[in-house]
Amino acid sequence: MNEALLNALTVFVLAILCGFAVISKVPATLHTPLMSGANSIHGIVLVGAMFIAVEATTPVSQLLSLIAVAFATMNVVGGYVVTDRMLQMFRKKPTTPPAPKSDASES
């Protein structure tokens, strides 16, 4: 096995383990802010996919870049939809004032 490939795989596995350890320790109240931060990162991924799509010259690379842009867009939009749903759970529901009692029912 190539030494550079072995180093890259080692870093990849360590990043997975470190990410799992960090995310598993996050309390539930922090998930919404973390999701918003992840959405901004996914936006950067979308911009990168668009830059790659501009440089695509062959039909295969154009198709792959189109798929990358589509998946990145779905990821960003889906992340904001999930964040909005989570934020709606913390909003207070509007309360309607109680109906005034009529005096005609007292007779």
Could you identify the residue written with the tokens 């842009």? 69
CB–CB of 25/80 below 8 Å?
A: no
CB atoms within 10 A of CB 72: 19
**pTM passes above 0.75:** no
19 falls within a domain: no
47 falls within a domain: yes
4 falls within a domain: no
80 falls within a domain: yes
**In the prediction, which pLDDT does 103 show?**
64
CB–CB of 82/35 below 8 Å?
A: yes
75 falls within a domain: yes
- Domain hosting 53: range is 30-91
Q: What is the C-alpha separation between 9 and 19, in angstroms, rounded?
A: 15
Long-range contacts of 45-53 (CB under 8 A, 24+ apart): 45/72, 45/75, 46/72, 46/73, 46/75, 46/76
Nearest 10 degrees: Cα torsion 31, 34, 40, 42: -70
**In the prediction, which pLDDT does 65 show?**
92
pLDDT tens across the length of the chain (107 residues): 799 999 999 999 999 999 888 878 877 777 667 766 777 777 888 899 899 999 999 999 999 999 999 998 988 888 888 778 877 877 777 777 777 777 665 55
Structural domain count, the chain: 1
**In the prediction, which pLDDT does 91 show?**
76
Q: What is the C-alpha separation between 52 and 58, in angstroms, rounded?
A: 12
